[in-house]
């Protein structure tokens, strides 16, 4: 069939991979079942909670979160756009997608941060992890649906599984980057005063790396949302399923409305998590105002010197870059 | 008691650094090692820091002084040689035993302060006590006391970001003081500060040292700072210690061309003191203006213009020596460096010399 047949033999990597998947499926059924039950329970519980609360109350809560961490502008924008979701009759599907994204993010962070910490501490771990992350990030996302469906069948669980794999890498990378980027002298100070590696990690490295780690969380969320449609193909309920349905029936209005819903959730989550990572950039957030008020009571004796010296070291370089990768 | 002793310390960076040490001991130069991909940072450094002394290691960037200080508290492991603290070899310690030395014996002040920006000044000052597991109320008390000592009483609730550079380094100093160790390592501690504030901090350190009597290893690239602070000074170049001595000895008897070139621009009138250049009293009651033994030469000119001879007064108020106007002028001639006899007699300089406010 192929002129290369005689020189380069056909290597059946695909077959081997498929065999490996079957083997895992046969031998770790108990683990897969456990994961499936757990993930299913988590997502459905969160979905139920989000859907049970009256939509208008939830919109108010989302707006309040925006006000707390960022600005009144975000609060107003949130209220308007989420009311639009209700008006488009996509509220329930939007909450299903939100629950899936939040759970997938949570799982991805729980896996990514420890791996990132290990990679930051050991060059060897880092060297092993990096190509694996490259693989995970560049493999077309649809391919993850194959093991997901083999392992977990159809539904929300394979959606979460595929999403976690696809969204994990930036969480690991930015955790490693953040910890490696912590000022070496400050870490040395911890060592010089006799802190244990654990004390240095918890007291110095993680707090100082937090802005970068939060940028990683932001990226994880954005990638999770970009997987929403693909999760829909695997049968997860939500906006993604609506989009898939609209493609198969060429239903323009449905596709536009469901797509808009994804965009609205994406922008909201991006703005909130970006602000969480750099609270200093948003002095007019409700939290910032409250913090300053309590800070004034405990401050130093000389207000002038304080103002003069109060120069923030942070730059807003990656404000809002989160959306760039989503490709919505 | 608390003293540091370093014997034949080597630190070579690169793959299989041990072979670099062997080569250096066999007479190889730094350039020879570079060809093999090795970087020798410290070469055969030996020195003693006595209890209650400020010992300054002075060298330009790349001379290996920062590497040297990091081998004292185990932040870097020497390739060869050893460091003993109070007679205990700390070079091969690891884990809990190394941490115990750092908690109980040796604290450190850093060039760029190395404070935790997310914690208050008080929490930063208490950091060493926190990692050693001292209870909250106790460590808050000790941290507040240390902040008081460095002139930051009442600032405990501020964040480091709200303080100026000089104030931040005071917090760094308070953190080391609060730890209660007898030995303090100061790595270019004042180098990042602007000149006026640097001078303030030097004065403050000298003042604190009079009460505290810590054993201090101080690293700097600023020769005037070294002369001002150091009871003794080690001059370092290209990883080697060229000369160890008092400011007076280094000014008047540099061991080689490099040290001589280096010290020629030093403001001798501020570094040398009356006791450094006086003729010890041979008996009798000399006449002239009375000046304190620790006065810098610059402060003697006013009296010297009025009087042909100055009488140097010891700490107990007794006359200990005399300075003629010509001696004062001669002491400022830079070429005295080549003829040590011009200044003080070597015998008197070693036991009476106190450069600037060291441990008296």
| Pure H helices in B289-360 | 301-306, 325-331, 346-352
Nearest C-alpha neighbor of A311 from the set B112, B127, B110, B165:
B165
C-alpha to C-alpha distance for A163 and B350, rounded to whole angstroms: 76
- Region of B133 on the Ramachandran plot (φ > 0 left; ψ -120 to 50 alpha; else beta): left
C-alpha to C-alpha distance for B360 and B354, rounded to whole angstroms: 7
Say yes or no: B230 and B279 in one domain: no
Question: Does residue A115 lie within any of the structural domains?
Answer: yes
Strands B80-85 and B88-89 come out as antiparallel
C-alpha to C-alpha distance for A64 and A111, rounded to whole angstroms: 30
Please give the span between the terminal C-alpha atoms of chain A, in angstroms, as a whole number: 41
User: What are the tokens at A251?
Assistant: 């239903």
Question: Does residue B279 lie within any of the structural domains?
Answer: yes
pLDDT tens digits for range A95-140:
999 999 999 999 999 999 999 999 999 999 999 999 999 998 888 8
Burial class (CB in 10 A: 0-12, 13-18, 19+), B128: buried
Question: Does residue A313 lie within any of the structural domains?
Answer: no
Question: Does residue B135 lie within any of the structural domains?
Answer: yes
Question: Does residue A124 lie within any of the structural domains?
Answer: yes
Burial class (CB in 10 A: 0-12, 13-18, 19+), B205: buried
Say yes or no: B121 and B225 in one domain: yes
Say yes or no: B318 and B239 in one domain: no
Strand partners, B219: B57, B187
**Across chain B, which distance is largest between two alpha carbons, in Å?**
68
Question: Does residue A253 lie within any of the structural domains?
Answer: yes
Question: Does residue B14 lie within any of the structural domains?
Answer: no
Does B155 sit within 8 Å of A301, measured CB to CB?
yes
Task: Say which residue the tokens 């309590």 belong to.
Answer: A294
Say yes or no: B217 and B299 in one domain: no
Say yes or no: B288 and B148 in one domain: no
pLDDT tens digits for range A152-196:
888 888 888 888 998 999 999 999 999 999 999 999 999 999 999
Nearest C-alpha neighbor of B197 from the set B151, B233, B246, B231:
B151
Say yes or no: B195 and B328 in one domain: no
Say yes or no: B113 and B249 in one domain: yes
Give B192's Cβ-side CA count (13 Å radius). Answer: 18
Residue B110 is given by DSSP the state: -
Angle at A219 (CA atoms; ends A181, A286), nearest 5 degrees: 85
Best A185, A194, A198 member to test B by mutation, with max B CBs in 10 Å, is: A194
Higher pLDDT, A288 or B76: B76
Q: How many CB atoms neighbour CB B305 within 10 A? A: 9
Does A193 sit within 8 Å of B127, measured CB to CB?
yes
CA trace torsion B271, B272, B274, B278 (10° rounding): 180
C-alpha to C-alpha distance for B151 and B173, rounded to whole angstroms: 11
Question: Does residue B158 lie within any of the structural domains?
Answer: yes
Question: Does residue B62 lie within any of the structural domains?
Answer: yes
Question: Does residue A320 lie within any of the structural domains?
Answer: no
A-B contacts at Cβ under 8 angstroms? 92
The number of folded domains in chain B is 2
The pLDDT of residue B244 is 93
Among the partner residues B102, B111, B112, nearest to A193 by beta-carbon distance: B102
C-alpha to C-alpha distance for A205 and A119, rounded to whole angstroms: 13
Say yes or no: B257 and B297 in one domain: no
Backbone phi, psi, residue B280, to 5°:
-60, 145
Strand partners, B241: B236
CATH number of the domain residue B231 falls in = 3.40.50.300
The pLDDT of residue B218 is 94
Say yes or no: B221 and B339 in one domain: no
Among the partner residues B99, B116, B159, nearest to A196 by beta-carbon distance: B99
Report chain B residues whose CB lies below 8 A from the CB of A313: 117, 161
Say yes or no: B118 and B136 in one domain: yes
Provide the domain limits for residue B336: 272-352
A311 at the B interface (CB within 8 A)? yes
**Contact at 8 Å (CB) between B202 and B358?**
no
Does A188 sit within 8 Å of B110, measured CB to CB?
yes
The pLDDT of residue B299 is 86
Backbone phi, psi, residue B26, to 5°:
-85, 5
Nearest C-alpha neighbor of B110 from the set B56, B153, B164, B168:
B168
C-alpha to C-alpha distance for A55 and A9, rounded to whole angstroms: 60
| Pure H helices in chain A | 13-27, 29-52, 55-69, 72-87, 91-121, 123-138, 145-152, 156-180, 184-192, 197-200, 206-226, 228-233, 239-248, 252-277, 286-298, 303-309
Percentage of chain A modeled with pLDDT above 70? 88
**Contact at 8 Å (CB) between B63 and B239?**
yes
Q: Quick check: A32 pLDDT over 80?
A: yes
**Alpha carbon separation from B234 to A260, B49, B51, B217 (Å, rounded):** 71, 10, 16, 10
Question: Does residue B2 lie within any of the structural domains?
Answer: no
CATH number of the domain residue B347 falls in = 3.90.1280.20
Report chain A residues whose CB lies below 8 A from the CB of B159: 295
Report chain A residues whose CB lies below 8 A from the CB of B127: 189, 193
**Contact at 8 Å (CB) between B33 and B25?**
no
A131 at the B interface (CB within 8 A)? no
C-alpha to C-alpha distance for A326 and A266, rounded to whole angstroms: 9
C-alpha to C-alpha distance for B89 and B97, rounded to whole angstroms: 11
User: What are the tokens at B204?
Assistant: 């403050």
Does A306 sit within 8 Å of B158, measured CB to CB?
yes
B contact residues 106-165, partner A, Cβ 8 Å cutoff: 106-108, 110-112, 114-118, 120-121, 127-128, 131-132, 154-155, 157-159, 161-164
Angle at A273 (CA atoms; ends A269, A274), nearest 5 degrees: 115
Q: How many CB atoms neighbour CB A45 within 10 A? A: 12
Nearest C-alpha neighbor of A192 from the set B79, B104, B51:
B104
Residue A109's SS3 state is: helix
Split at pLDDT 50, 70, 90, the class of A5 is low
Question: Does residue B38 lie within any of the structural domains?
Answer: no
Report chain B residues whose CB lies below 8 A from the CB of A192: 73, 75, 102, 106-108, 110, 185
A48 at the B interface (CB within 8 A)? no
**Contact at 8 Å (CB) between B247 and B296?**
no
Cβ neighbours of residue A30 under 8 Å, at least 6 residues apart? none
Report chain A residues whose CB lies below 8 A from the CB of B179: 193
Question: Does residue A256 lie within any of the structural domains?
Answer: yes
Question: Does residue B99 lie within any of the structural domains?
Answer: yes
DSSP letters, A201-215, are: IIIIIHHHHHHHHHH
The pLDDT of residue B342 is 40
Please state the rounded mean pLDDT for residues A30-58.
89
Question: Does residue A324 lie within any of the structural domains?
Answer: no
What is the chain A residue with the closest CA to B159?
Answer: A299
Percentage of chain A modeled with pLDDT above 90? 41
Is the torsion defined by CA of B144, B147, B152, B157 positive or negative? Answer: negative
Annotate A261-291 with b (16+ C-beta within 10 A) or e (fewer): bbebbbbbbbbbbbbbbbbebbeebbebeee
The pLDDT of residue B221 is 92
Question: Does residue A132 lie within any of the structural domains?
Answer: yes
Q: Quick check: A301 pLDDT over 80?
A: no
Say yes or no: B252 and B287 in one domain: no
C-alpha to C-alpha distance for A119 and A168, rounded to whole angstroms: 14
Low-confidence ranges of chain B (pLDDT < 50): 336-360
The number of folded domains in chain A is 1
The pLDDT of residue A10 is 84
Please state the rounded mean pLDDT for residues A239-252.
88
- ipTM comes to 0.78
C-alpha to C-alpha distance for B360 and B358, rounded to whole angstroms: 6
Say yes or no: B71 and B140 in one domain: yes
CATH number of the domain residue A45 falls in = 1.10.3720.10
Higher pLDDT, B27 or A295: B27
Provide the domain limits for residue A191: 27-287
C-alpha to C-alpha distance for A251 and A229, rounded to whole angstroms: 15
């Amino acid at each position: 069939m192929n002129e290369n047949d005689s020189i380069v033999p056909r290597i059946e990597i695909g077959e081997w991979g498929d065999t490996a998947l079957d083997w895992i499926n046969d031998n770790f059924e108990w683990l897969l079942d456990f994961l499936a039950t757990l993930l299913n329970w988590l997502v459905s519980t969160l979905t139920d909670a989000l859907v049970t609360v009256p939509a208008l109350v939830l919109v108010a809560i989302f707006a309040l979160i925006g006000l707390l961490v960022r600005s009144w502008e975000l609060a107003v924008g949130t209220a308007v756009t989420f009311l639009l979701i209700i008006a488009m009759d996509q509220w329930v599907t939007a909450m299903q997608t939100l629950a899936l994204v939040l759970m997938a993010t949570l799982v991805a962070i729980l896996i990514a941060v420890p791996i990132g910490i290990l990679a930051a501490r050991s060059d060897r771990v880092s060297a092993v992890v990096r190509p694996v992350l490259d693989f995970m990030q560049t493999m077309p996302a649809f391919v993850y649906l194959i093991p997901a469906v083999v392992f977990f069948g159809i539904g929300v669980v394979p959606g979460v599984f595929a999403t976690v794999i696809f969204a994990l890498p930036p969480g690991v990378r930015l955790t490693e980057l953040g910890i490696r980027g912590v000022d070496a002298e400050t870490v040395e100070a911890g060592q010089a005063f006799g802190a244990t590696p654990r004390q240095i990690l918890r007291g110095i490295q993680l707090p100082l790396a937090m802005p970068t780690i939060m940028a990683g969380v932001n990226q994880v969320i954005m990638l999770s949302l970009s997987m929403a449609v693909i999760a829909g193909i695997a049968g997860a309920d939500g906006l993604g399923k609506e989009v898939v349905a609209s493609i198969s029936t060429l239903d323009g209005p449905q596709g536009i409305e469901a797509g808009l819903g994804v965009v609205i959730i994406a922008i909201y989550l991006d703005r909130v998590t970006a602000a969480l990572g750099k609270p200093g950039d948003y002095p007019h957030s409700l939290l910032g105002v409250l913090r300053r008020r309590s800070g004034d009571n405990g401050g130093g004796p000389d207000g002038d010197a304080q103002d003069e010296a109060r120069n923030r070291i942070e730059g807003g370089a990656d404000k809002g870059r989160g959306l760039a990768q989503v490709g919505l | 008691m608390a003293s540091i002793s370093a014997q034949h310390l080597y630190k070579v960076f690169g793959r299989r650094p041990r072979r670099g040490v062997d080569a250096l001991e066999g007479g190889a130069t730094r350039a020879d090692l570079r060809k093999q991909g090795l970087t020798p940072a410290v070469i055969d450094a030996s020195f003693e820091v006595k209890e209650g002394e400020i010992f300054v290691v002075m060298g330009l960037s790349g001379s290996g002084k920062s590497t040297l200080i990091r081998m004292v508290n185990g932040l870097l492991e020497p390739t060869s040689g050893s460091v003993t603290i109070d007679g205990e070899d700390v070079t091969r310690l690891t884990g809990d035993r190394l941490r115990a030395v750092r908690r109980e014996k040796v604290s450190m002040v850093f060039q760029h302060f190395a404070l935790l920006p997310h914690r208050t000044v008080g929490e930063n000052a208490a950091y060493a006590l926190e990692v050693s597991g001292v209870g909250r109320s106790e460590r808050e008390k000790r941290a507040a006391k240390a902040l008081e000592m460095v002139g930051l009483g009442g600032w405990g609730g501020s964040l480091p970001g709200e303080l100026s550079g000089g104030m931040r380094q005071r917090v760094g100093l308070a953190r080391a003081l609060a730890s209660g160790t007898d030995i303090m390592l100061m790595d270019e501690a004042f180098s990042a500060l602007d000149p006026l504030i640097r001078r303030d901090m030097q004065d403050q350190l000298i003042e604190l040292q009079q009460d505290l009597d810590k054993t201090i290893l101080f690293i700097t690239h600023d020769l005037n700072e070294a002369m001002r602070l150091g009871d003794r000074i080690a001059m370092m170049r290209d990883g080697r210690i060229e000369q160890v001595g008092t400011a007076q000895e280094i000014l008047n008897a540099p061991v080689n061309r490099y040290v001589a070139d280096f010290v020629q621009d030093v403001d001798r009138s501020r570094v040398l003191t009356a006791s450094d250049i006086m003729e010890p009293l041979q008996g009798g009651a000399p006449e002239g203006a009375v000046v304190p033994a620790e006065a810098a030469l610059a402060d003697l000119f006013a009296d010297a213009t009025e009087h042909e001879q100055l009488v140097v007064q010891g700490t107990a108020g007794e006359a200990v020596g005399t300075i003629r106007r010509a001696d004062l002028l001669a002491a400022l001639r830079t070429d005295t460096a080549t003829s040590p006899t011009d200044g003080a007699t070597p015998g008197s300089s070693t036991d009476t010399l106190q450069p600037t406010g060291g441990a008296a």
